Amino acid sequence: MTSLTVPPEDDGQRLDVWLAGQLGVSRSQAAHRIDAGDVTVDEVVASRRRRVRAGERILLHAAATTPPSEPPPLPPVRYRDEHLLVVAKPAGLVVHPGAGHPDGTLVDALRAAGIPLAPGDEPSRPGIVHRLDRDTSGLLLVASSPEAHAGLTAALAAREVTRRYHALVVGVPTHPRGRIEAPIGRDPGDRVRFAVVADGRPALTRYRTLAIGRADELPEHRGAVASLACQLGTGRTHQLRVHLTALGHPIVGDPTYGPSRELSRALGARRPVLHAAALGVDHPVTGARLELYEPLPAELRAVLQRAGLTPPAQRDLTEGW
């Protein structure tokens, strides 16, 4: 069973439309699950025409009994003590169970390894205080103790956790450095996507252009790319992907927001070229400063090489802000 909570910006949507966006499926597929009695609100089987309300807990029951998959291997652990740990999440690994991903997640890997996970607000998300998209790699904080969970959650809300990424984008930004401050919410034209919308949640991204490259086999106006260092001011769903798309420079290899499949193929980008490379936080219990850096994985280094670029050094992402 999967528990979903309706955010304020989705208040009033039809249940079948809202569920389709949450599951990443068609409206008819979501309606089929509802009509089959797999979806309940307040323990009552819901109607597809029902309007969801902010804060409601929607329960999605298993459509069929299937044995759980084997837990994935534990990702590399870059820091660990009794209160928290930092893992280097690989691309392709979902962080926690949810709609469409009942198991085979990072949470399952941590549990299988016997790592304590702090209880949180959602039973399916023990220890999870922030997330990375499935196809984004890099550093992720996990809370092992309740004290760490509360402290990290508060630090994230207060924007006291430094999160820096490397991204390869289509084209070259007009300004070599900039600040993108634009609200993010569900795309009204496609509920699977997010977009900059007037009534969205506030979101802030800073970026710096590190280098400019290109795909040699494409004409210059179609093959230009830029290597960016990005820093999150907030942590909205798909934030960097949405903000950079709104800037006119979507991330290379992004099947949801990136318009240039030709460019992605030319550079061999099989997933978004986005990596959570640097993380800084004051330990929520001891107060000690933690600063970690994770180099780009091999598949992203290969993409940069095809664009005539070298991987960014640690100082490129951590200095000059």
Confidence of residue 164 (pLDDT cuts 50, 70, 90): very high
Same domain, 148 and 165: no
Inter-residue contact 33 to 60 (CB < 8 Å): yes
Same domain, 234 and 193: yes
Same domain, 112 and 148: yes
The residue among 158, 179, 196 that closes a domain is: 158
The residue among 140, 158, 176 that closes a domain is: 158
What pLDDT, in 10s, does the model give residues 47-69? 888 898 888 888 888 765 456 67
Confidence of residue 36 (pLDDT cuts 50, 70, 90): confident
What pLDDT, in 10s, does the model give residues 13-35? 888 888 888 887 777 778 888 88
Mean pLDDT of the chain: 91
Same domain, 8 and 108: no
Compute the distance between CA of residue 247 and CA of residue 38 in angstroms, rounded to an integer: 40
The residue among 158, 186, 218 that closes a domain is: 158
pLDDT of 44 over the 90 cut? no
Runs of H (alpha helix) within 36-84: none
Compute the distance between CA of residue 15 and CA of residue 34 in angstroms, rounded to an integer: 9
The CATH number linked to 8 is 3.10.290.10
Inter-residue contact 15 to 46 (CB < 8 Å): yes
What pLDDT does residue 301 have?
98
Residue type, 10: D
What pLDDT, in 10s, does the model give residues 175-232? 999 999 999 999 988 878 999 999 999 999 999 999 999 998 888 778 999 999 999 9
pTM of the predicted model, to two decimals?
Answer: 0.81
- What is the crossing angle of helices 27-35 and 15-23, to 10°? 110
pLDDT of 253 over the 90 cut? yes
Q: How many domains does the chain have?
A: 3
pLDDT of 305 over the 90 cut? yes
What pLDDT does residue 206 have?
98
Same domain, 280 and 139: no
Same domain, 175 and 318: yes
Same domain, 311 and 174: yes
What pLDDT, in 10s, does the model give residues 262-278? 999 999 999 999 999 99
The CATH number linked to 151 is 3.30.2350.10
Same domain, 222 and 135: no
Compute the distance between CA of residue 110 and CA of residue 117 in angstroms, rounded to an integer: 8
Same domain, 202 and 55: no
What pLDDT does residue 101 have?
67
Same domain, 199 and 279: yes
What pLDDT does residue 259 have?
74
Same domain, 174 and 211: yes
Same domain, 138 and 179: no
Cα dihedral sign for 176, 177, 180, 186? Answer: positive
- Asked about 135 being catalytic, the answer comes back as no
Compute the distance between CA of residue 106 and CA of residue 86 in angstroms, rounded to an integer: 12
What pLDDT does residue 4 have?
85
What pLDDT, in 10s, does the model give residues 97-112? 876 667 789 999 999 9
pLDDT of 128 over the 80 cut? yes
pLDDT of 302 over the 70 cut? yes
Catalytic residue, from 16, 133, 135, 316: name it. 133
Residue type, 262: E
Containing structural domain, residue 319: 161-321
What pLDDT does residue 115 have?
96
Please provide residue 299's backbone torsions phi and psi, each rounded to the nearest 5 degrees: -65, -30
What pLDDT does residue 48 have?
81
Strand partners, 150: none
Confidence of residue 283 (pLDDT cuts 50, 70, 90): very high
SS3 55: coil
DSSP at 176: S
